[in-house]
Amino acid sequence: MGEIGIDRYKFFYVLPFWEISAIVKGYRKRERTLCDLTRWQTYWIMNCIGDPTKAGIYSVTDLLPFPWDAEHTERPLSEDEEQRIREELQRINRKNVNPS
């Protein structure tokens, strides 16, 4: 599907929820790494050009804060929550495949 490159049928009907979660987390981690790298490069370019502290930028997170900069932990989903989410995704998929 989309950027991740998984077949739609496999995503909605075949893969277990934990595997979908792992794939999505891996994709997000790759995207996050690219964003962090770009932020670091920008910060160091600013240091080479001048003094970023004059603009109130003392660290890379001051330059461009991302949502993942705040520490948080995710709790695992219960089986009921997984089932409810899977059913909702399947309902959306059926609607998208057979719009009426």
Report angle CA 39, 42, 43 to the nearest 5 degrees: 85
Of 28, 43, 38, the C-alpha closest to 74 is 28
Section 40-69 average pLDDT: 84
Report angle CA 21, 70, 32 to the nearest 5 degrees: 50
Q: What are the residue ranges of helices labelled H in the chain?
A: 8-9, 17-49, 60-63, 79-97
Per mean pLDDT, which range of 24-33, 57-66, 69-78, 80-89 is the poorest?
69-78
Domain ranges of the chain: 8-97
Distance CA 51, CA 82 (A): 50
Q: What is the mean pLDDT of the chain?
A: 82
